[in-house]
Amino acid sequence: MGSGPLCSPLVDQALVKEVGGSAWDQVAAFGGGAGCWRAALLVCCQGEGSGPDAPFSPGLNHRLFFPQRNSIQTSKYNVFTFLPLNLFEQFQRVANAYFLFLLILQLIPEISSLSWFTTVVPLILVLAVSAAKDAIDDVVRILSLQTPPIKMWFSSSLKDDLWLNVEVGDIIKLENNNFVTADVLLLSSSEPHSLTYIETTELDGETNLKVKQALTVTAELGEDLACSLPAGEIKCEAPNNKLDKFMGTLLFKGEKYALDNEKMLLRGCTIRNTDWCFGLVIFAGPDTKLMQNSGRTTFKRTSIDRLMNFLVLVIFVLLAAMCSVLAIGNSIWEYKRGSAFQVYLPWPHDVHSAFYSAFLMFWSYVIILNTVVPISLYVSVEIIRLGNSFYIEWDRKMYYPLNDTPAQARTTTLNEELGQIKYIFSDKTGTLTQNIMVFNKCCINGKIYGRASTPKVDFSYNPLADPKFSFYDQSLVEEVKAGDVITHKFFRLLSLCHTVMPEEKKPGELVYQAQSPDEGALVTAARNFGFVFRARTPETITVVEMGKTIVYKLLAILDFNNVRKRMSVIVRRPDGRVTLYCKGADTILYELLHPSCVPLKEETTEYLEEFAGEGLRTLVVAYKDLERKSFANWQKRHHEASTALQDREEKLSELYEEIEKDLILLGATAIEDKLQDGVPQTIETLGKAQIKIWVLTGDKQGTARGGDDTLLSAPPKNSWRLILPPSEVHPRILCDVTGREEQRRELELELVRTACLCKVVICCRVTPLQKAQVVELVKKYKNAVTLAIGDGANDVSMIKAAHIGVGISGQEGMQAVLSSDFSFAQFRYLQRLLLVHGRWSYIRMCKFLAYFFYKNFAFTLVHFWYGFFSGFSAQTVYDEWFITLYNMVYTSLPVLGMSLFDQDVDDRWSLQFPQLYMPGQQNLYFNKKEFVKCVLYSVYSSLVLFFIPYGTLFDSLRSDGKAIADYQSFALMAQTCLLIVVSVQMGLDTAYWTAVNQLFIWGSLAMYFAITFTMYSDGTYLIFTGSFPFVGSARNTLNQPNVWLSIFLCVTLCVLPVVGFRFLKVQLKPTISDQVRPPPPGKVLLGGGCLPLSGGTRGGTRRCPHSASACFCDASCHPRGQVTPAICG
């Protein structure tokens, strides 16, 4: 498909002159004649305040003669720029830049204290992993742009061309299943009334089909429009990122027509169930709305991230301090004792003073002690987060089979934050409820229907009735059959006042495509009571009223928005009468009623309160017969406003207010939206975990109160609720506050303080912006982690404002899911996400950080103590190959194994005892205090690891009388003690053993001995002479009993304080986690007594990372036996 441009996009000087003094943003002028087309694009990007007399934009000429093409670049690199650009990006990271700096230092002979490979090998490994990931991502982006060619008009015929050659003004033909490659104005299609069905999965994530409809004036041209389309002109807004809005006008056959989003096919859509359609390209390439939305999103950081960044800075300070101490020691030592060693250890030729020697030693120790700054910390953290994200997606208990929706971790950087949530902000409709609307009750002319306990109404008399619809009040059917005028007006309004599109796949089988479930429910109700909405065109609405087909002329649609909170349609009946039908919120419509409706309004209000008390969603409906003369004047002004490019929405709003007044009240509707399964139980469980829940809903206060009773399955007797009415909260707190800044802060603080005393807070009548403001308010005044959960586009701002955003894939599309960090199909899965996956992720990350810093400090501080016994000469304790492999090979897999598989209790008990979640909220498992403890323990361990081998080998002899008190034996013994100690410490920190943990921990230890004996063997030395200087050390040292006795002593002295401290802590001051622990096999401990398990014991669970689903295995390999926990009194 596709061809080159129809003709050269040239614009005559008259047109250029005219555009230079106009106020519109973009024009596509096209004309026809003898099958020849001409197209041109003019763009004038206006700033604020530009108007009809705005000066001609200097950049306009370029866009006149060089229209925007459809080519875009989503890749970051090419073959030649990948290596330099990727390396440049990676060295923007502080850790990578730091190790590059170390590598440069190692190239300076005067200060080089380690071989270059000790830094190069880990650095290259980190860079290679990141580069491979970036390369794969870039290749995927390039492949995603490979689309088939499209058909374009060229010289009165269709020709194929690449989509990237499409230009603004081109006419393209799209066929079924074609991908829309530019933003085009729909001109005509093969479907009746020029309807075009599209799928917008790539655009907004929604899988349900949407309907677009061309203007009648262009739809009449059909498929052969190239030879029949007369001259025309399109003026529209400048390119922007608003997917749901488009503003433009079409000047065609001397008439001006308004263009909106319903007539646009945006890039990213796919044509479905439509044989063909034609469109005029309006925006191309980077100007398309899809590309305009490709900007960077806000990057969320967890509290663990912020803590790690702070601790890395602290570690840099400690490194500088240690190097300074050793440098000062070197200066003192050289000044007092160095001269005695000048005979056989002379200074280098460029060193002439003790001060200069200390300066060089400072940088030499920076190289030696660099391991205290963990180069692999951030890479390891990302691997752990990725693994825990897979567990969320593999969890079959968070899979919803009815619509085949698994849980999704849409980000891998926030897992542990799920274990620290204190406040949950939830939408109500579609999040807590099913968002499946059912017409439950109604009030017509002061009489209520649907309250009677009668059998289900039989709609068999209506051949077009929906068999799934249910209603339980036969009297309403009798009123309709009797021809009651008000009742007929009521259902006529429901069948006309909407934006639903009907689809009749089979005769009599109607399917309604509704933008909201509420509209679908109301139209379906009207259908069953004899007012069947059958068809819609841009100018007409066809309704079958009690078996009689009536075609209404659609004169205007007064759109709904969050400010108006109502919508209206104006139609002309076959008898010529013009009527306005309106539906909306009661608080809004009551202000628009005619004074004569006051008695009926009061009566209707009573019923509305009854409906709201039952948690039903209510709407008020009203109508108004319009005078022809006054309406004609209004319609003229409405047309002018709807075709204006400047302030169109404001002008239309004023006209809507003008005509929507003195309405006649008909009644009200009540729609039921049932709670999802498990919502009350989930809220109760989360409450036990001390998680506060705020429900932010657009419902009226009565509905919010009614829903509150349903949400709380068993509220305590002394519970109370704080309802935030709009009249009190919105103007003074959530919107801009007039007056002093101090007063505003006091009001905000008082609101948060009072609301946080409540277990559940219901905020009613809130707009999408106010939802985000409530979240920001709590974040501002409470040092707590927040989570927002919603299912619709009106929840996106709230989801983005919270620390964690969760999307529900429900009936309102996928906008919330696309903006979220995690998503699933049912609210009840939230408790498992937080109490199981979130808690496990948080505990695992905390254990990882504590162990990671411990092993690195213990490793590095041995060098520090050695400096005091080596004249501060920047000598290393360990073999350089051990230094290189310590973090890469010997200790990397064990810590990853614990961080991916460990769990203190299984998922059942995490849910059964929600109190286990509370330590995460208080950030108890890893914080600055725990870091200090970790450092102090590392200092103690390093002292043991240095002085025990030192004392053991000091003047010691082998069994055959030969001395083993040499540097190589000491280094081998110290590094062996170190690795065994950190491995045993890992075993003590592991609460849940799996085969993988066993393999990683003890396998790494076995690998150390295998590598050590291999590298220190005679054969390796002969092959790689000079590369492995420790030849024979392992064989001569590790065969001595006193060496192994010293190793055992080291391990015992390092581990004993930890074991003793933990034992005393559990006995004297047990935490919540300590109170839930594995009991003896077959027993449950309650209040100090043991009770047998009625159903036997249940083994623990672990996930298999190689499986695409949750794999639950028997935990018989657990070293403590049964892992079923118990509550210990």
DSSP code at position 847: H
Q: What percentage of the chain carries pLDDT values higher than 70?
A: 78
Mean pLDDT of the 1026-1048 span:
82
The DSSP result for 245-300, as a single string, is: ---EEEEETTEEEEE-GGGEE-TT-EEES-SEEEEEEEE-GGGSHHHHT-SPPPPP
Q: Which sequence spans correspond to the domains of the chain? A: 13-72+148-154+161-292, 414-428+685-820, 439-672, 835-1075
Q: Is the pLDDT of residue 1066 over 90?
A: no
Mean pLDDT of the 252-267 span:
88
pLDDT at site 1083: 43
Residue 89: phi, psi to the nearest 5? -65, -40
Exposure string over 507-531, b if 16+ CB within 10 A, otherwise e? eeebebebebbbbbbbbbbbbbbbb
427 given a catalytic annotation: yes
CB 513 within 8 A of CB 487: no
The answer to whether 1124 is a known ligand-binding residue is no
Residue 823: phi, psi to the nearest 5? -150, 150
Q: Is the pLDDT of residue 985 over 90?
A: yes
Both tokens assigned to 718: 């002394």
Query: Using one digit for the tens of pLDDT, what is the confidence trace for 33-51?
Result: 333 333 333 333 333 333 3
pLDDT at site 157: 64
Q: How many CA atoms lie within 13 A of 726 on its CB side?
A: 15
What SS3 class is residue 686?
A: helix
What's the pLDDT band for 965 if we cut at 50, 70, 90? confident
Q: Which of the two residues, 165 and 788, has the higher pLDDT score?
A: 788
Interhelix angle 1041-1068/967-989, rounded to 10 degrees, is 30
Q: Is the pLDDT of residue 31 over 60?
A: no
Q: Which amino acid is at 505?
A: K
CA 64 to chain CA centroid, Å, is 41
pLDDT at site 868: 92
Q: Is the pLDDT of residue 53 over 60?
A: no
Mean pLDDT of the 357-372 span:
88
Q: CA 911, 421, 701 angle in degrees (round to 5)?
A: 95
Q: Pairing state of beta strands 692-696 and 26-33?
A: unpaired
Q: What is the CATH number of domain 13-72+148-154+161-292?
A: 2.70.150.10
Q: Is the pLDDT of residue 1104 over 60?
A: no
The answer to whether 458 is a known ligand-binding residue is no
Rounded to whole angstroms, the Cα distance separating 733 from 745 reads 9
What SS3 class is residue 1025?
A: coil
Q: Is the pLDDT of residue 60 over 50?
A: no
The answer to whether 336 is a known ligand-binding residue is no
Q: How many CA atoms lie within 13 A of 437 on its CB side?
A: 24
DSSP code at position 50: -
What's the pLDDT band for 350 if we cut at 50, 70, 90? low
pLDDT at site 430: 83
pLDDT at site 949: 92
CB 711 within 8 A of CB 675: yes
Averaged confidence pLDDT in the chain: 79
Q: Is the pLDDT of residue 666 over 90?
A: yes
What's the pLDDT band for 130 if we cut at 50, 70, 90? confident
606 CB-near residues (< 8 Å, 6+ apart) = none
Name the CATH superfamily, with its identifier, for domain 414-428+685-820.
Answer: HAD superfamily/HAD-like (3.40.50.1000)
The answer to whether 519 is a known ligand-binding residue is yes
Nearest by Cα to 979 from 929, 925, 1027, 1038: 1038
What's the pLDDT band for 287 if we cut at 50, 70, 90? confident
The answer to whether 427 is a known ligand-binding residue is yes
Mean pLDDT of the 840-844 span:
95
Rounded to whole angstroms, the Cα distance separating 493 from 496 reads 5
pLDDT at site 388: 93
Pick the most confident of 22-31, 465-474, 765-774, 1000-1009: 1000-1009
DSSP code at position 546: T
Q: Which of 25, 204, 427, 466 is catalytic?
A: 427
Mean pLDDT of the 999-1015 span:
92
pLDDT at site 621: 96
CB 1091 within 8 A of CB 1076: no
pLDDT at site 448: 92
Q: What sign has the CA pseudo-torsion 723, 727, 730, 732?
A: negative
Query: Using one digit for the tens of pLDDT, what is the confidence trace for 393-423?
Result: 999 999 999 888 899 998 888 899 999 999 9
Query: Residue 715, by phi and psi: left (phi above 0), alpha (psi -120 to 50) or beta?
Result: beta
The answer to whether 161 is a known ligand-binding residue is no
What's the pLDDT band for 457 if we cut at 50, 70, 90? confident
Mean pLDDT of the 123-133 span:
79
Exposure string over 1096-1125, b if 16+ CB within 10 A, otherwise e? ebebbbbbeeeeeebeeeebeebeeebbbb
Element (H, E) at 1048: helix 1041-1068
- On the 0-12 / 13-18 / 19+ scale of CB atoms within 10 A, 170 is buried
What's the pLDDT band for 1082 if we cut at 50, 70, 90? very low
Q: Is the pLDDT of residue 299 over 60?
A: yes
pLDDT at site 1092: 32
Q: Is the pLDDT of residue 464 over 60?
A: yes
Element (H, E) at 877: none
Prediction pTM value: 0.78
The answer to whether 147 is a known ligand-binding residue is no
The DSSP result for 1049-1063, as a single string, is: HHHHHHHHHHHHHHH
Q: What percentage of the chain carries pLDDT values higher than 90?
A: 33
Q: Is the pLDDT of residue 1091 over 50?
A: no
Mean pLDDT of the 113-132 span:
76
The answer to whether 466 is a known ligand-binding residue is no
The answer to whether 904 is a known ligand-binding residue is no
Stretch among 477-486, 557-566, 736-745, 1097-1106 having the lowest mean pLDDT: 1097-1106
**CATH fold for domain 439-672:** Calcium-transporting ATPase, cytoplasmic domain N (3.40.1110)
Alpha helices in 66-169 (DSSP H): 82-90, 94-106, 117-144
What's the pLDDT band for 574 if we cut at 50, 70, 90? very high
Mean pLDDT of the 142-149 span:
61
pLDDT at site 68: 66
Q: Which of the two residues, 796 and 99, has the higher pLDDT score?
A: 796
Mean pLDDT of the 442-471 span:
85
Q: Which of the two residues, 377 and 385, has the higher pLDDT score?
A: 385
Q: Is the pLDDT of residue 1116 over 70?
A: no
The maximal CA–CA distance of the chain, rounded, in angstroms, is: 123
Q: Is the pLDDT of residue 750 over 70?
A: yes
48 CB-near residues (< 8 Å, 6+ apart) = none
Mean pLDDT of the 734-760 span:
72
Q: Is the pLDDT of residue 929 over 90?
A: yes
Q: Which of the two residues, 70 and 481, has the higher pLDDT score?
A: 481
The answer to whether 697 is a known ligand-binding residue is yes
Stretch among 45-59, 254-268, 422-436 having the lowest mean pLDDT: 45-59
pLDDT at site 298: 61
Rounded to whole angstroms, the Cα distance separating 509 from 499 reads 19
Q: Helix %, strand %, coil % for the chain, to 5? A: 45, 20, 35
Q: What sign has the CA pseudo-torsion 603, 605, 611, 616?
A: positive
What's the pLDDT band for 578 if we cut at 50, 70, 90? very high
The answer to whether 800 is a known ligand-binding residue is no
The answer to whether 32 is a known ligand-binding residue is no
The answer to whether 698 is a known ligand-binding residue is yes
Mean pLDDT of the 563-570 span:
91
Q: Is the pLDDT of residue 597 over 90?
A: yes
Mean pLDDT of the 502-514 span:
80
Q: Is the pLDDT of residue 1095 over 60?
A: no
pLDDT at site 612: 85
